[in-house]
Structure 1
Amino acid sequence: MDVVLAGADSLWVLRRARSDAALGLARGVPAPAKTRAAELAAIADVLPDGFRPLGSKTPLDLTYFSRRQRPFLAAVHAVTHLSPVLEDTYLLVTGAGENGVRLFVEGPALTLSHMAERLRVAVGHGSLTRTAAFFRLMGLASELCGTYARDPSNPASGDCAWKVDVLCGPEELRRSLSLASGVRGVAEARRVASLVVGGSASPTESLLAMAMSLPVELGGVPMSAFLHNEELAWPKGTRQLVNHQTMTPDFYWPRHAVALEYDDAVHEDRKNVREDHRRQQDYAACDIALVTSQADDLRSAHALERLMRLVALRLAPCEESGFMLLVEQALQDSSASSMRTTLLSQLLPSRPEGREDKKRAPAGDKSLHS
């Protein structure tokens, strides 16, 4: 039997599978003929530990591939998928199936579309503003295209899993969404996918990437394109000067020789202070201007704008003469500043992310928070 999760339950298991070393995700196509009416006992056996108890008060979101298959059970919320199923529509959860039962979750494109629909409903009910919904969806797209996964049960403030496998890149996400049909929320998902930057290693990096890449009307600042978490090629003749064989800046502008790195906490212990010093030495040895930022730089829209202005000043020598004027216009735009305030409220974790935590990948509700 193939068990195909949908909606919020699919996202819960997707996040858990990315963060749990005992689980994994692989391409796979569920077989409709093997998807029978819900057998809750068999389904419960393949769900990961920590999943909520099954029952009529919190129905399980399941996908079926024909209207005749849909069960009429209080404990099941049945979703019917009648569109063509492509190879990346669903993902097989490895390490979860047993006794001939396979567990599937929605792939990135379907996950993003279904979240877009849930957020649209929340906006219609007045529980969320349209701008907040947009940034929540952007945050989910960044997570799907990044190397971190939010906590399944508490995505707003729970521990993230770091250095997880990327599910897809922005181009792959856009391609999958372009092929999707008959799916609610797909139009907004396509809009978000057209703007997302891949490769973020944390929610804060996703926030900074948005601030430096989104259009001004969405709160962005007109910066040049950057490399995001890509290995830095040392200039010739500097190998004997640097402490590290390789470096991977959070953000890097090669033409400008400018790097931006975010540190989540003040590093007071001797080991971290020494490492920070060595990284700064390496950037200096290669004539790379390093801009560092911490949580205080994201405490408000005003603080974020100050950081953006500092980055722009480092980029300005390699830009055209009107560059700083355009940046200042964007930073002083009251509507854009309001968008940045909402961006901070939706993307920042409820507690600081620890840099040391990002060096390991800890194991890992039907909350609307994406």
Structure 2
Amino acid sequence: MQSTLSAQIRGEEDLMDVVLAGTDSLWLLRKARSEKDLELVAADEAPLAPTVRASNLPAIVGALPQDFRVIGPQTPLELASFSREARPCIGSVRARTILGNLPPGAFLRVNGLSGKDLRIFVEGTALTLTHMAARLAQPIKEKALTEQAAFFRLMSLASELCGTYGRDPTNPARGDCAWGVDPLCTALELKQSLAEVSGARGVRQARRAAGLVTPGSASPAESLLAMAMSLPASLGGVPFPAFQHNKALSWPQDINGLTKHRTMTPDFYWPQHSVALEYDGARHAEEDRVWEDHRRQQDYTTCGISLLCAQAEDLKSAGAIERLMRIVALQLATQEKAGFLQEVEAALLKPGSSAARATLISQLLPPNCSKTEGESQHS
């Protein structure tokens, strides 16, 4: 791969490929997911990587979105290079040299940016997660972040990459999310890509996070619930059976004409237990919304499915989540082996688990990220 990462001449002009790295890459990745005019495309071949010179900077900055941050000596642009010789020595650029093995599709091209003879790439999901893990090592070292909080933040990013929502590029913790976007990868694809990354700091933690992520979340709140119901007890999880996540249900044939919807897609569903869990952070005071909730409840009941509903109040604290987990466990217990409820209770009471859930909440839920757009799908 490395032999292809050199400048080439096409026609009479140089075609420059610029590969953003680190936080700048993640910013543009999130921006492209939230903007209809931008498109992320897997790179079929490795980007061409000539040495970036100071004279190239105006064109590069001009091609980036207008709300991209200010670039200067104190706030350099983060770029990737693929050899020490090609690494730019410019005060307004900080270069990350990538020398290890990389998987296919290691970079994504951002289409829709203005830039003549200039193509801009961002890091793909495997490198994005790996470099986030490497960056989180510094706040851990400075004791600004605990190892557990850093890992949950990494899990949060993995869930976002594999989910149908995207955090705000400039203010991911408190800004509004983009809803209904295409997942960048599946959990399996993320794990396979990370298995081929070598020689990069952070890859070990990235692989750990990818091995625990549940794909398909439609909101940060769903990611939080997925983790609470699947992570090991040492990380604040409970031993629930495997669930389907945002997958459409098939109604039984003998109830045609009784249901208001042709199909439903609950946030979480246990088919062997006929139990569904839906999260809705919005308060439905409008008459139409109340009636719609009533019809959904009727449809589930008609099909013999027990529906549990959770709202933002159920995720506001470790104690609130624990109460919700006990309610879900009671519904699942009828189809589980004897002692299931005792196992759940032991996990909930495990020393340190309540603190882990509080940390999970702090890293997963931006205060302004409500789920009015991410309601369970139905038609």
TM-score class, shorter: over 0.9
Q: Please give the alpha-carbon distance, in whole angstroms, between the structure 2 residues aligned to 1:6 and 1:271.
A: 47
Partner in structure 1 of residue 158 of structure 2: 141
Partner in structure 2 of residue 64 of structure 1: 81
What's the CA shift for 1:294? 0.6
1:154-193: CA deviations, max 9, x gaps? 1011110000011000000000000001111000000110
Paired letter, 2:47: A
Conservation of the 8 A alpha-carbon contact between 1:265 and 1:352:
no
What's the CA shift for 1:119? 0.6
User: Quick one: structure 1 residues 50 and 201, their matched pair in 2 at CA, closer, same or farther if it must change by over 3 Å?
Assistant: same
What's the CA shift for 1:349? 1.6
Structure with greater contact order relative to length (CA < 8 Å, sep ≥ 6): 1
Q: Please give the alpha-carbon distance, in whole angstroms, between the structure 1 residues aligned to 2:240 and 2:165.
A: 25
Partner in structure 2 of residue 257 of structure 1: 274
Partner in structure 1 of residue 30 of structure 2: 15
Matched, 1:32 2:52: no
Paired letter, 2:19: V
Secondary structure at 2:85's aligned position in 1? Answer: helix
User: Quick one: structure 1 residues 70 and 218, their matched pair in 2 at CA, closer, same or farther if it must change by over 3 Å?
Assistant: same
Partner in structure 1 of residue 293 of structure 2: 276
Conservation of the 8 A alpha-carbon contact between 1:213 and 1:222:
yes
Partner in structure 2 of residue 132 of structure 1: 149
For structure 2, which runs of at least 5 residues remain unmatched after alignment? 1-15
Which residue of the other structure, out of 101, 107, 126, is the alignment partner of 2:118?
Answer: 101
What's the CA shift for 1:65? 1.1
Q: Please give the alpha-carbon distance, in whole angstroms, between the structure 2 residues aligned to 1:329 and 1:88.
A: 43
What's the CA shift for 1:34? 4.1
1:333-360: CA deviations, max 9, x gaps? 23111111110111112125041x347x
Q: Please give the alpha-carbon distance, in whole angstroms, between the structure 2 residues aligned to 1:33 and 1:320.
A: 58
Paired letter, 2:78: D
Partner in structure 1 of residue 251 of structure 2: 234
Which residue of the other structure, out of 203, 209, 220, is the alignment partner of 2:220?
Answer: 203
User: Quick one: structure 1 residues 46 and 86, their matched pair in 2 at CA, closer, same or farther if it must change by over 3 Å?
Assistant: farther
Paired letter, 2:32: A
What TM-score, normalized to structure 1? 0.94
Which residue of the other structure, out of 218, 224, 232, is the alignment partner of 2:235?
Answer: 218
* 1:327-338 to 2 correspondences below 5 Å: 327-338=344-355
What's the CA shift for 1:97? 4.7
Q: Please give the alpha-carbon distance, in whole angstroms, between the structure 2 residues aligned to 1:35 and 1:321.
A: 65
For structure 1, which runs of at least 5 residues remain unmatched after alignment? 360-370
Paired letter, 1:199: G
Which residue of the other structure, out of 134, 153, 166, is the alignment partner of 2:170?
Answer: 153
Conservation of the 8 A alpha-carbon contact between 1:37 and 1:70:
no
Q: Please give the alpha-carbon distance, in whole angstroms, between the structure 2 residues aligned to 1:352 and 1:72.
A: 40
What's the CA shift for 1:46? 1.6
Q: Please give the alpha-carbon distance, in whole angstroms, between the structure 2 residues aligned to 1:32 and 1:65.
A: 10
What TM-score, normalized to structure 2? 0.92
Partner in structure 2 of residue 243 of structure 1: 260
Q: How many residues align?
A: 358
Q: Please give the alpha-carbon distance, in whole angstroms, between the structure 2 residues aligned to 1:346 and 1:241.
A: 42
Conservation of the 8 A alpha-carbon contact between 1:32 and 1:64:
no
Partner in structure 2 of residue 89 of structure 1: 106
State the structure with more CA Rg: 2
Q: Please give the alpha-carbon distance, in whole angstroms, between the structure 1 residues aligned to 2:259 and 2:51.
A: 57
